[in-house]
Amino acid sequence: MQEEQEILTEENAEELYERKSFVIDKGQEPLRIDKWVQQHMTNATRNKVQQAIEAGFITLNGGIVKNNYKVRPGDEILVLSLTNPEQTEVKPEPIPLNIVYEDATILVLNKPVNMVVHPGVGNYTGTLLNGIAYHLMQQNPGLNDELLPRFGLVHRIDKNTTGLLVCAKTGEAAAHLAKQFFNHTVSRKYTALVWGNIGEDEGTIVAHIGRHQRFRKMFDAYPEGDHGKHAITHYKVLERFNYVTLVECVLETGRTHQIRVHMKHIGHTLFNDADYGGDRILKGTIYTKYKQFVENCFAICPRCALHAATLGFVHPATNKEVFFESALPEDMKSVIEKWRNYLGSKN
């Protein structure tokens, strides 16, 4: 049996899905696919495998398959499964959600600042997923984490990043969306304020991204490709303020902290990004008035200045492309306007 394993990731987030592809050996005798997968997946139960097949998380030769299909030599089985090893219970909580769009199969949300997306160590309650679970279970009281893993969450963004997220309301929709993220066919644009005056109006950053060699909670760029995973970010300058620049970033891949790491790699750390050193003056002479101005800006936008502004994908039910936009949050709008006025006062 041949096997390849890849990771489905989302910018500013840890891996959500693992993709495993199996090719059936020549000597394999006919065997039900649900039983075969159960035998070859760690901790898989027959019931969960059957649910995954019915939801579309397990496909055969690129198409849907039934549980009673008997595998044959040469068949290719693709399995999408959640990679997060921490099986934290998701407790439904009545948390207000900023819903941009909702129908029978998907839910598009605008995540606010300072909200963790899903439960984990140190954040077991009050997360976006707790609110999503409550919202979906009000519509379907019988829904649980087995019927819809992680209540349809297919990607994440950081606690201090604002903007758009899509969530599935059915297993079939979750599988459909997960494959799109894995295949990098989802369209995403981010707006970021970065330190420094970027030389080119637009450009592309190509550098592997992986865990930092010394600080394991951080990530780093590896341009030689000797560590981490392949990553590509396209950027375009929207507005210049001499000391900082407003940019639009388009993701070709989706790696953890991709924009933050890539922009730092080219010398333009995100404004007020404490993890990567953007919470101190990186450009401009440090004199009293300027220092006070920058500190005021930090107070207005007390977080990494990054916003998931657009999200486009193929709707899992209609197979038509859909596109959503989210306006800049008030903290970023205010700090950008402050820089704009500061630049105007210097001219």
Domain 17-82: assigned CATH number: 3.10.290.10
For domain 188-312+322-346, the CATH architecture is: 2-Layer Sandwich (3.30)
- Looking at residue 51, its pLDDT comes to 81
Residue 102 has pLDDT above 90, yes or no: yes
Enumerate the domain spans of the chain: 17-82, 99-183, 188-312+322-346
Cα–Cα distance for residue pair 237/200, rounded to 1 Å: 8
pLDDT tens for each residue of 200-252: 999 999 999 988 878 778 899 998 888 888 899 999 999 999 999 999 999 98
Do domains 99-183 and 188-312+322-346 share one topology? The answer is yes
Q: pLDDT value at position 163?
A: 97
The mean pLDDT value for 253-271 works out to: 93
pLDDT category at 11 given cuts 50, 70, 90 is: very low
In DSSP notation, 181-233 reads HHTT-SEEEEEEEEES--SSSEEEEE-EEEE-SS-TTSEEEETTSSSSB--EE
The lowest-confidence range among 93-107, 140-154, 290-304 is 140-154
Pick the CATH number of 99-183 from 3.30.2350.10, 1.10.10.60, 3.40.50.300, 3.20.20.150: 3.30.2350.10
pLDDT at 279 over 60: yes
Lowest mean pLDDT segment, chosen from 15-19, 197-201, 265-269: 15-19
Catalytic site residues? 158
- pLDDT-derived band of residue 260, with 50, 70 and 90 as boundaries? very high
CA dihedral defined by 102, 106, 112, 114, rounded to 10 degrees? 150
* Higher per-residue confidence, 4 vs 97: 97
Q: How many CB atoms lie within 10 A of CB 224?
A: 7
pLDDT, tens only, 168-210: 999 889 888 988 887 888 999 999 999 999 999 999 999 999 8
